[in-house]
Amino acid sequence: MSSAAPKKSASKAASARKVRLDKVRSIPFPEKAGDDVFNASELVPLADGRFLFCDNNLNSELFELRLDAAGRMIGGLERRKIKNLPDGAVDDMEGMTIVDGERGQTIYVATSMSLKKGNAKAKKRSERGEEFAPRNALLRIAVGRGGRLAAEVVPDFKHWLVERSPGVRKAARRLPDDDGLNVEGLGWDPKHGALLFGVRTPLIDGRPLILRVRIKSQAGEWDVSNFEMLAPVRLCIEDAGAAQGVRSIEYDPSRQAHLVVVGNSTSRSKAPFEMYLWDGNEAGRVTKFRNVRFAKAMRPEGVAHGTIDGRGCVVFVDDLGGYQVVFDDDPRLEIERRKTPKKKSMKRIGA
């Protein structure tokens, strides 16, 4: 009889270890975008149990994902048409963030700022790609009554950004797989009132880059006169054995820090997807979520913190057409804080 309690305790410990080590696996969406899966890119929380994501192949609408208390989808995806967006004005929407501010809820959407494939046989990397204006845009979308989405566009934002970012000027003339400019994340810094552009490529000295642009007035004119460039930040992520760039970034108010997903920087890289926590420090110090490991079949290009039935959670969307929910009390979201060593007291001579 006395051995029963220790056996149960050991079983609980083993169960806890198993939960901690479970990989995050994608749950497929129950529908497709025509013949293809939804290429879900970034994700934002809209309300309790409601999230919006963008698809980099579908550039005139966003998609609402509704989740129940268990983290399961309610019904199908709801298509949300973006009003006031001219046909062909935007291509390759990759980054998205949401702000509760002077204008109510505002969604900002960034294109990849990348070149389209051109002459693949060209010897010079700068001659293999072609400028494509719809990929240079930055959107401000007002969320109105009934969830109506109305957009304003800065059509040539890329060139304003590149002119003020010496670290990416050469890269802006190359294709992403030639380490050319490729923006895949967009976050919001509430402290500085700034948009955070998470760069997949290029890396700077092997480190992922965050380009920061302050919006002078959220209610101001939507043009480059309303922007101010801040100093970029290079994230000090750990060596994964292959190059990793930013794939998603979103502010988490519960942790008062940014969730940053990194992954293979180019299609050649075999680097895994991993997640870090960054408190916005300009030195780029980050803390890794060591227990968050993604299944190889999942490409988490969107992450957001929100609530479902009042319960805090982190939601991921998968570029291969799916999603997953990890609630805040899941041990996989625990992070190890580095303890500051105590200073040794020095004895005074002659004391």
Q: Indicate which CATH number applies to the domain containing 302.
A: 2.115.10
DSSP 313: E
Domain containing residue 187: 33-328
Evaluate whether residue 159 is within a structural domain.
yes
Residue 9 lies in a domain: no
Q: Assess if residue 222 is contained within a domain.
A: yes
Band the pLDDT of 103: cuts 50, 70, 90.
Answer: confident
CA dihedral 215, 218, 221, 222 (to 10 degrees): 70
Which is more confidently placed, 245 or 117?
245
- What digits encode the pLDDT tens for the residues 277-326? 999 999 999 999 999 999 999 999 999 999 999 999 999 999 999 999 99
CB 95 within 8 A of CB 186: yes
Between 2 and 174, the higher pLDDT residue: 174
Query: Does 157 map to a domain?
Result: yes
Indicate whether 136 belongs to any domain: yes
pLDDT digits (tens, 9 = 90+) for 160-193: 999 999 999 999 999 999 999 999 999 999 999 9
Would you list the DSSP string of 103-114?
A: TEEEEEEEE--P
Planar angle of CA 78, 84, 86, nearest 5 degrees? 100
Alpha carbon 134 to its chain centroid, in Å, reads 21
Residue 158 lies in a domain: yes
The answer to whether residue 10 is domain-embedded is: no
Choose among 286, 293, 287: nearest CA to 272.
Answer: 293
Q: Among the listed ranges 192-196, 225-229, 340-344, which one has the minimum average pLDDT value?
A: 340-344
Number of domains in the chain: 1
Residue 25 is assigned to a structural domain of this protein: no
